[in-house]
Amino acid sequence: MLRSVELKTFVPARDFELSKDFYQAMGFKPGWSDEQLAYFSHGEHCAFLLQNFYVKEQAENFVMHLLVEDVDAWWEQIQAARLDERFGSRLVPPQDQPWGMRDFVVIDPSGVLWRIGQNID
């Protein structure tokens, strides 16, 4: 039987250094990095590769979804990091969604949209 270990996506960055700073401020742990790629993780099972590559249309249509246990705690962390002031990020506060999730939106400096949410009853 074939087993999977991890699935990662390649997130585009218009300004690679700025994006690396942004994701650290957002709470992701930097790992391996060179001039073209940077590995970021949070916990044991959440990771992505930030790439020094940018196409406006791709970045502005790129969506990441992070499922968390406590969305309101994450929102507080995002606000405390002042991502909007420091990086010009757009933030949309948490809302209960009709699909059974409470989530909020963060748009990174390259235009990548992140939905961070938790399941609700």
Query: What is the Cα–Cα distance from 31 to 97, expressed in whole angstroms?
Result: 33
- Read off the CATH number of the domain in which 58 is found: 3.10.180.10
Say how many domains are in the chain. 1
Q: Given this model, what pLDDT does residue 88 score?
A: 95
The answer as to whether 86 is a domain residue is yes
pLDDT in tens, 53-77: 999 999 999 999 999 999 999 999 9
What Cα–Cα distance (Å) separates residue 86 from each residue in 5, 26, 44, 70, 94?
35, 11, 28, 24, 20
Domain housing 98: 10-119
The answer as to whether 49 is a domain residue is yes
The mean pLDDT of 19-41, rounded to a whole number, is 97
The answer as to whether 4 is a domain residue is no
Q: CA dihedral in degrees (75, 109, 98, 79; nearest 10)?
A: 10
Q: Given this model, what pLDDT does residue 82 score?
A: 97
| pLDDT category of residue 5 using cuts at 50, 70 and 90 | confident
